[in-house]
Amino acid sequence: MRKYLVPLLVFAAVAACLFLFPDPALAAPGGKIASGLFRSTPGKIFLTLLVLIFLPLILYVQITESIAVRRTLRDLRQLAGTHDAFDWLQLKERVTESFHRVHAAWRKEDMYEASQWMTDWYWQNQQLAYLDQWERDGLVNHCRVKKINNIRPLFVRYRNNQGDLEGSRLVVSITAEMEDYLAERQSGKVVQGKPGYTDVEAVWTLVFEHGRWLVANIEEGSLSLQYAKLVNELTAPVGAAGSPRPA
């Protein structure tokens, strides 16, 4: 049985991840097309089987992430006592606006329009690595956001070496109802993904630069557990200024 243990565990982890998280994002910002795996009837049947088989693992992930969200909200309240930039209500508004601005620029295939909401490296990377390449290949990504369903803070890192919070970092999980597929520009033929709205989860990382929070990375929702298991960093490095007050 031992020789089958590792393959079984790998299969369990992969299958549970497929169930646990909404369709992985994105060919919208981030570059990966939402799969739509569970939209069909066979997919829904498969999903039900996964629930029955992997319920303990599913519960473990959900509990771990719930604990991380509560912990991060608590730590943000502590940091907000010293710096307004960590106030969760303001942060949530910033994340929401960033989400819509970045996707609007993505639809126009011009990420420069969102350059005030992203780090210089990241918006240029998205433009060159995906949008420009798809244009050369005669492809276009159809990406429309209907609404944001949930924003959950998973991890926060406090930095204040120069008293300006530069380098502080926030990781959030965003679940939104959206349409996301890749098609040929001329014929409209779908080459990846599927038309229609579905819940899609992505992990967004924001960094504090030049007095504001900017999008620095967008990753698949399946990575949310990895961030949830990290320990928040609330203490500035030795020698840094402006350490937050203890809770």
Give the pLDDT of the chain (247 residues) as one tens digit per residue: 444 444 444 444 444 444 444 444 445 676 555 555 555 666 667 667 766 676 777 788 899 999 999 999 999 999 999 999 999 999 999 999 999 999 999 999 999 999 999 999 999 999 999 999 999 999 999 999 999 999 999 999 999 988 899 999 999 999 999 999 999 999 999 999 889 999 999 999 999 999 999 999 999 999 999 999 999 999 865 444 555 654 4
Q: What is the 3-state secondary structure (H, E, C) of 53-69?
A: HCHHHHHHHHHHHHHHH
Tokens of 238: 């030795």
Model pLDDT, residue 104: 96
| pLDDT value for 57 | 76
Nearest-angstrom CA–CA distance, 120 and 115? 7
Burial class (CB in 10 A: 0-12, 13-18, 19+), 131: buried
Taking the C-alpha atoms of residue 169 and residue 203, their distance in angstroms, rounded to an integer, is: 13
Torsional sign, CA 88, 93, 97, 103: positive
pTM: 0.78
Q: What is the pLDDT of residue 245?
A: 52
Is the Cα torsion angle 195, 222, 62, 144 positive or negative in sign?
negative
What is the identity of the amino acid at 126? Q
CA atoms within 13 A on the CB side of 27: 23
> Do 191 and 208 touch, CB atoms closer than 8 A?
no
User: Any idea what DSSP says for residue 32?
Assistant: B
